[in-house]
A and B are shown apart, each in its own frame.
Chain A
Amino acid sequence: MNDFEKNQNIVHKICRIYTTNQDEHNDLFQEITIQVWKNYSKFRGEAKFSTWMYRVALNTAISLFRKSKRKIKTQDFSDVSFKIKSVDYDDTKDKQLKALYLGIRGLNDIEKALMFLYLEDKPYKEIAKTLGITEVNARVKMNRTKQKLKKILNP
């Protein structure tokens, strides 16, 4: 699980996209951890660990995760998660990042995955392979999703 610990930032980003508060974020993080642990024996090293982890984490967020019914008491997570870490961190950038996350949350589950992989600089070949669609379809859908996100970000 050392690799997982090192790459946990990827999982946190996915949790931020697919959940709206800290409780859900923690629940999804835990479910992804369980799924990575359970399926690790099936990881045969044909891809990089992080590539495989992208798949498991996105699959868990899109297909497996079930939000628990308990009441949520924590404050809205978008207010707490991006507090400035270092002194020289630019406040405008923090606001832009918040806007980006809010914009992505306005997309559907598949579009979220596409946009996330785009932002993570994944090549179309890998995006197509991760979602199980053709490269052409990935490109077409990506263009549409970009347009949709642009509209949300610049209404």
Chain B
Amino acid sequence: MDLANYKKVWKNQPEEKNKISALEIYKMTQSKSNSLVKWIFIIGLLEFVFWFAINYLGTKNGALEPYEKLNLINFIDNFNYFHYVLVVLFLILFYRNFSLISTGDDTKTLMKNILLVRKTVKWYVYYNLIYAVVFSIILNILIFNTPDGINILSGIDNESFNKEHMMSVFIIAQIVVIAIMILILWLFYYLLYGILLKKLNKNYKELTKLNEIS
């Protein structure tokens, strides 16, 4: 049987026997959505809160006390103000891109806009990682250029300890911590967004591939 005949069968198919009443439809509209867009939005917001909290907590709880002694507080404050401005800009971008999502759009545009929201969050995470690295590098340079900088910071008040040795331990420790952090984050994001966006990525590829066939 050819498709034209199947088309006739399709057209003559009986109507759904379990018709949903207007009241039931209204009740459905009041129930919670379980859509991909909702989860992308929630996870995106949680990421903003998470990174903001990490940064905020890092500057509280007495963590800055040694830096006060080194007169680096002004530098850290200025760096933080700059950081907060960028966080706000990212948040604005996140909301703007999120509001572009409309299920009334064509399928390709909709997918592109969903992926754009995800990309905004990805840039935000990259920014935070780069910020952490740049911040530590500048801070290290300032500490090592301050006389007795390491002594004050490490709390060791011993003239005889090897300054250069301490310096390398300090730097290696920081590199290891950052590397582990990036690895954990990469694994986490790979799994989280990998699972969440698997279907969307596959379908988006299928649609973009279409542009290459003609």
Q: Which residues of A contact B (CB under 8 A)?
A: 1-2, 4-5, 8-9, 12-13, 27, 29-31, 33-35, 37-39, 42-43, 52, 55-56, 58-60, 62-66, 68, 81-86, 89, 93, 96-97, 100, 108-110, 113, 118-119, 121, 129-134, 136-137, 140-141, 146, 149-150, 153-154
A74 to B111, CA, bound (A): 32
A33 to B109, CA, bound (A): 21
Say whether B36 contacts A64, CB under 8 Å.
yes
Q: Which of A2, A66, A108, A130 contacts B34 (CB 8 A)?
A: A66
Q: Which residues of chain B are near A133, meaning CB under 8 Å?
A: 108, 207, 210-211
Q: Which residues of chain B are near A118, meaning CB under 8 Å?
A: 7
Q: Which residues of chain B are near A83, meaning CB under 8 Å?
A: 17
Q: Which residues of chain B are near A62, meaning CB under 8 Å?
A: 107, 203
A134 to B110, CA, bound (A): 16
A113 to B37, CA, bound (A): 20
| Interface of chain A, main secondary structure | helix
* Complex interface: stretch among B25-33, B62-70, B80-88, B186-194: B25-33
| Interface of chain B, main secondary structure | helix
Say whether B103 contacts A110, CB under 8 Å.
no
Q: A128 to nearest B CB, angstroms?
A: 9
Q: Which residues of B contact A (CB under 8 A)?
A: 1-3, 6-7, 9-17, 19-22, 25-26, 28-29, 31, 33-37, 39, 102-111, 114, 199-200, 202-203, 206-207, 210-211, 213-214
Say whether A68 contacts B34, CB under 8 Å.
yes
Say whether B213 contacts A149, CB under 8 Å.
no
Say whether B106 contacts A119, CB under 8 Å.
no
Q: Which residues of chain B are near A141, meaning CB under 8 Å?
A: 210, 213
Q: Which residues of chain B are near A27, meaning CB under 8 Å?
A: 34
Q: Which residues of chain B are near A64, meaning CB under 8 Å?
A: 35-37, 103
A133 to B112, CA, bound (A): 13
Q: Which residues of chain B are near A93, meaning CB under 8 Å?
A: 9, 12
Q: A110-B203, A121-B11 are in contact. List 6 more A-B contacts (CB 8 A).
A: A4-B25, A5-B20, A29-B20, A56-B103, A65-B36, A93-B12
Say whether A137 contacts B13, CB under 8 Å.
no
